[in-house]
Amino acid sequence: MLDQLARQVEALLVASESPVTLERICELTGCGTESAEQAVQRIEMELASGGHAVVVARLAGGFRIVTDPDLGYIVAQLFEGKRHSRLSRASLETLAVIAYRQPATRAQIEAVRGVNSDSAMRTLLERDMIKIAGRQETPGRPLLYETTSRFLEYFGLSDLEHLPRMDEMESLLKLSADDIERMASELSGDESDQIL
């Protein structure tokens, strides 16, 4: 049996349409961070011990109640024909570059991938995986792109720190920072950065 606080938190997680952060839980229930965290843990234990079909997931900086992936094949039938297709390899590569190197200009992304990434970026914008983060204050003021919280949810990530191989990628990017800038400036010379 769950106590009153845990029940309140559970209700919030069920009714919210996006992940609920710890701060938000504290704000709405009037409890402290530590008790909120413990309440979430009690819900998790309760769900696990009762053999429920849902679990608490840590997504995009908050908590969310989601169905167990094992049951995906059953639930998917509810949404047949409505589900987005998987992202293409080009889109995934492009997304990976933006995720680790955000905010990034299109020229920087293309410098890393070595190919034109227009259509991949268009798909990612349409599917709300990336958004425009402003403009870089360099000649031509190219648009900057960053990932959205939708991106984190889509890949089941709690935050950007939890991207796969974060340390390795960071040191690799540091090693190649000059190369990327050089190639990007070569690229941006002959292309106008228009809004997609």
Partner 1 sequence: MSADLQTACRINIQDFEGPLDLLLFLIRRDELDVTTIHVAEVADQYLDYIREAEELNLDIAGEYLVMAATLTRMKSRLLLPVERAIMEDYEDPMDSLMRHLVLYRAFKEVASELRESESIWRDVFTPPGERERYQESVTEVDQDQTSLLDLLLALENMSEKNAPPPEHRIRKPLLSLSECVAILDRTLSTDRQSKFIDAVGENADQAVVVSFFVAILELVKRGWLTAEQRYPFAEITIKRKEERWE
Contact residues for partner 1 (CB under 8 A)? 14-18, 57, 64-73, 75-76, 83, 86-87, 89-90, 92-93, 95-97, 100, 112-116, 128, 131-134, 143, 148-150, 153-157, 163-165, 168-169, 172-173, 175-176, 179, 183, 195
Cβ proximity to partner 1, 5 vs 96, nearer residue? 96
Output Rg (C-alpha) for the chain, integer angstroms: 21
Shortest distance in whole angstroms from residue 45 CB to partner 1:
20
Of the candidates 88, 19, 86, 23, the residue with the CA atom closest to the CA atom of residue 58: 19
Report the interhelical angle of 4-15 vs 33-49 (nearest 10°): 80
For residues 151 and 50, what is the distance between their CA atoms, to the nearest angstrom? 31
CB of 32 to partner 1, least distance (A): 25
Look up tokens 């990327």; give the residue: 180
Quick one: 41 or 116, whose CB is closer to partner 1? Answer: 116
CB nearer partner 1, residue 107 or residue 155: 155
Nearest residue (CB) to partner 1, 42 versus 150: 150
Least distance CB 134 / partner 1 (angstroms)? 7
* Shortest separation between residue 34's beta carbon and partner 1, angstroms: 26
Contact 101, 173 (CB under 8 A): yes
- Closer CB to partner 1, 31 or 90, in the complex: 90
Minimum CB distance to partner 1, residue 8 (Å): 16
Q: What is the largest CA-CA distance in the chain?
A: 65
CB under 8 Å to 75, separation ≥6 — which residues?
Answer: 67
Task: Report residue 173 as tokens.
Answer: 């990017």
